[in-house]
Amino acid sequence: MNNMKDSALLLSHEKLKFLEKYLQGSLILDVGCGVGAYSNWLVKNHPNLEIIALDQLENIFENDTITYIKSDLEQGLTLDKENFDTILTFDVIEHISNENFLLNSIFKKNKKGGILLGSVPHDEDVFLPKYNLTFYHRSDLTHKRYYTVESLSKLLQGNGFEIITIEKKGGVSPQVFAEFFHPRFKFILKKFIGIGRRIGLIKTNILYSDLFFAAKKL
Place domain 3-172+208-217 in its CATH homologous superfamily.
Vaccinia Virus protein VP39 (3.40.50.150)
What are phi and psi for residue 127, nearest 5 degrees?
Answer: -90, -10
For the chain, give every domain's residue range: 3-172+208-217
Q: For residue 90, how many C-alpha atoms fall within 13 Å in the half-sphere facing its CB? A: 22
Tens digit of each residue's pLDDT, the chain (218 residues): 445 444 454 578 999 999 999 999 999 999 999 989 999 999 999 999 999 999 998 877 877 889 999 999 999 998 999 999 999 999 999 999 999 999 999 999 999 999 999 999 988 766 676 766 666 666 677 899 999 999 999 999 999 999 999 999 987 777 777 788 888 888 888 888 888 878 888 776 777 889 999 999 99
* Sequential DSSP letters for 14-36: HHHHHHHHH--SSEEEEET-TTT
What is residue 10's predicted lDDT score, i.e. its pLDDT? 59
> What is the sign of the dihedral through the CA atoms of 34, 38, 44 and 49?
negative
Which segments of the chain are extended strands (E)? 27-31, 50-55, 66-70, 84-90, 110-121, 161-171, 208-217
**Are 36 and 12 contacting, i.e. CB atoms less than 8 angstroms apart?**
no
Burial (0-12, 13-18, 19+ Cβ within 10 Å), 66: buried
What is residue 59's predicted lDDT score, i.e. its pLDDT? 76
